[in-house]
Amino acid sequence: MAEGDLGQALVGAGVARADKNGPYEPDQTTALAAKRGLWAADMLIPKDWEAIRKKGE
């Protein structure tokens, strides 16, 4: 299950998988199913992974 900004970035990069039965709100579940928002295929992943890691701590 991915949580937080770091988790979302890892899922978006294809490094991790989100648990589709996880603690998502209904609108987030809809976005996940439609591959919109944070889960969109064209989402740009920040290149500064160190900043993402620090933000996730």
Confidence band for 1, pLDDT divided at 50, 70 and 90: very low
Q: Find the domain containing 9 and state its range.
A: 4-56
With a threshold of 0.85, does the pTM exceed it? no
- What residues contact residue 2 under an 8 Å CB cut-off, 6+ apart? 8, 10, 11, 16, 17, 18, 19, 22
Amino acid at 32: L
Report the distance separating Cα 31 and Cα 26, nearest Å.
Answer: 9
Q: How many domains does the chain have?
A: 1
Confidence band for 19, pLDDT divided at 50, 70 and 90: low
The answer on pLDDT for 17 being more than 70 is no
The residue ranking higher by pLDDT, 50 or 44, is 50
